[in-house]
A and B are shown apart, each in its own frame.
Chain A
Amino acid sequence: GAVVSQHPSWVICKSGTSVKIECRSLDFQATTMFWYRQFPKQSLMLMATSNEGSKATYEQGVEKDKFLINHASLTLSTLTVTSAHPEDSSFYICSASGDRAFSGNTIYFGEGSWLTVV
């Protein structure tokens, strides 16, 4: 089956620094990628949708200057948390969808990344 890989799985950074999380589709071309944030014991909150080669579409209330999303190729999207603060600590998950003829509207999830800002 299709595989989506996230890296790193765990990251600790100092307050005020920036951190980048990568999301890769390993065996298919991801035309669209999604970034979610999940707080403890809560559901997944969609942050943004990115399409290859175009600007990401952010959900209401998500700071686009804070959470920079780049989808430069059909297999890679990155989320950069800029000037991170402790309240940005969370679990971030990406997902990807490929050509509809390939995936049939199936969404593939990465393993997720734990971010801790100290």
Chain B
Amino acid sequence: AQTVTQSQPEMSVQEAETVTLSCTYDTSESNYYLFWYKQPPSRQMILVIRQEAYKQQNATENRFSVNFQKAAKSFSLKISDSQLGDTAMYFCAFMNPQGAQKLVFGQGTRLTINP
């Protein structure tokens, strides 16, 4: 079974700083997807970024980028020029696309951006 581990329960940075959230996972699959989801106080799950394991290039979405290290099974999220609206819970998630498309979530990291 796949597992996803986020070792940072909470993080806090100043506005405009760069912050990196860590995520490691365990799987025996070679083809899979990795995601970062944001859950603000509204509780709505918002997709931040996704990475396909067969792609070597790290995904980037505006201020959000990932460092995908397949051999190390590591998938960290970097938020550049952080904004107050980035304050939220962030969840790393794994999906095996060959199966039922179930998402396996990490424990989450509570990120606070301070003014």
| Number of B positions contacting A (CB below 8 A) | 20
Q: Which residue of A lies closest to B95 (CB)?
A: A105
- Residue in A38, A42, A97, A109 whose beta carbon sits within 8 Å of that of B101 in the complex: A97
Given contacts A32-B100, A105-B33, contact A43 B43 (CB under 8 A): no
19-69 of chain A: CB within 8 A of chain B: 32, 34, 38, 41-44, 46, 49, 57
Offer 27 A-B interface pairs, CB within 8 angstroms, sorted by A.
A32-B101, A34-B102, A34-B103, A38-B43, A41-B110, A42-B108, A43-B106, A43-B107, A43-B108, A44-B45, A44-B91, A44-B103, A44-B105, A46-B102, A49-B102, A93-B43, A100-B97, A105-B95, A105-B97, A105-B101, A106-B50, A107-B47, A107-B95, A107-B101, A111-B42, A111-B43, A112-B44
A106 CA to B104 CA, complexed, in Å: 14
